Amino acid sequence: MIYSQRSDGLGTRVLSAIYAQIFSEQVGVPMGLIWTPLGWPFGVRDTPLMHPNNIFELFGDLAFFRDGQGNGHGRIVLHEEPVSTELLSLYEHRYELFALSQAELAQVSSMGKGVNYDFPGPLFRFMTEDADAPAKVARIAGTINWNAHILGTVAAIDETFRLENCLSVHVRRGDIVEMLFRSDLADLIDGGMTQILQRYTPLQAYFDAVDRHRRGGIVVCTEDDGVVERFQHRYGAHRIASCSARDLSENQRAAVDLILLSKSRRIVAPVLSFFSQCAAAIGNTRIRNTAWHLKDTTTEITALVRRAESARSEQVLAVMYAAAYRISEQNDLNLASYYRGLGTTSDAALFEQAMA
């Protein structure tokens, strides 16, 4: 049996499941999904996002795919707590398995407790050499058994804005801010702050990209309604497509945003965004990641942290300055001395610890 099990966000879960279904069709072994609570990057916490109890907010039933004849594929197996399935991770063993034939991989997939296709992309040579892979991804994405309310919302937006003519922007805010204030300092030091800086892009960077798109609608996908208002103020409410004012749960809003991005003409995304990359793959849509705007990013985040007046504000900033120092060095941004100066004036000891 082939399974797809991810513990992170919707985009990577969906795209991994699509590739698992492609793999399933190619090796002739059935697939399913193991759906557990959100476990990354926060650790399991009190959130409705991706929680098994809310699965029917996202899908019509426990079949992840339904073909044109109504047949279900990819049975969803729910676990209300994170589970260790003892499945063979195909991603972790990709170097050992990469060159195997379809027949050999079919045998591997039929042995033991099964395998976990746990990566949102092709893992094996015969998959990477498949010129039809983008078309297969789009075909299977079109059979996802989305909840009817999600599909109705997308159809209503498409009818007004004609999504294939729209530029879309993915502006990460809500979950990033939550990471800043709720993550342990150790988690922020251990890669969490770097992820924040990769995903938090100042609005001006999006405006610069959108300003060159002089006609047509602009799809704004974000968790922050204030961001939508800023775009409406700059470009006019008549040009801004968004699901922010619609009656959707958090899960449904994420799904609608994923579909809107995938159906647009082009996506403008943060420096790093798996959600946007998954949407681009699902829709075979062009994507353009913004360049680094590190100084503006850290300035905006500094203002957010200081407005919160938290007892650990200077500690969070010290960790951020250390992460920014490393990013500057790795990307030749010539800001390393700037961030060292800020780090030593915030919490110098923690800055040095984070640097180490």
Q: What is the pLDDT of residues 153-177, one digit of tens each?
A: 999 999 999 999 999 999 988 777 7
Classify 121 as helix, strand or coil. Answer: coil
The end-to-end CA distance of the chain, in Å, is: 44
Mean pLDDT for the chain overall = 91
Quote the CA–CA distance of 270 and 159 in Å, as a whole number: 27
Domain ranges of the chain: 2-145, 149-289, 294-355
Q: What is the pLDDT of residue 184?
A: 85
Say whether domain 149-289 belongs to CATH 3.40.50.11350.
yes
At residue 248, does pLDDT exceed 90?
Answer: yes
Q: What is the pLDDT of residue 342?
A: 94
At residue 351, does pLDDT exceed 70?
Answer: yes
Q: Which residue has the higher pLDDT, 274 or 174?
A: 274
Instruction: Tell me the pLDDT tens digit for each residue of 61-87.
Output: 999 999 888 889 999 999 877 666 789
The string of DSSP letters for 144-156 reads B-B-HHHHHHHHH
Instruction: Tell me the pLDDT tens digit for each residue of 182-198.
Output: 888 998 998 889 989 99
Instruction: Tell me the pLDDT tens digit for each residue of 104-148.
Output: 999 999 988 899 999 999 999 999 999 999 999 999 999 999 999
Q: Quick one: what percent of the chain has pLDDT higher than 70?
A: 97
Q: Which of 31, 34, 35, 106 lies closest to 73 in space, CA to CA?
A: 31
In sequence order, which residues have a C-beta less than 8 Å from that of residue 43 and are 6 or more positions away? Answer: 187
Q: What is the pLDDT of residue 82?
A: 66
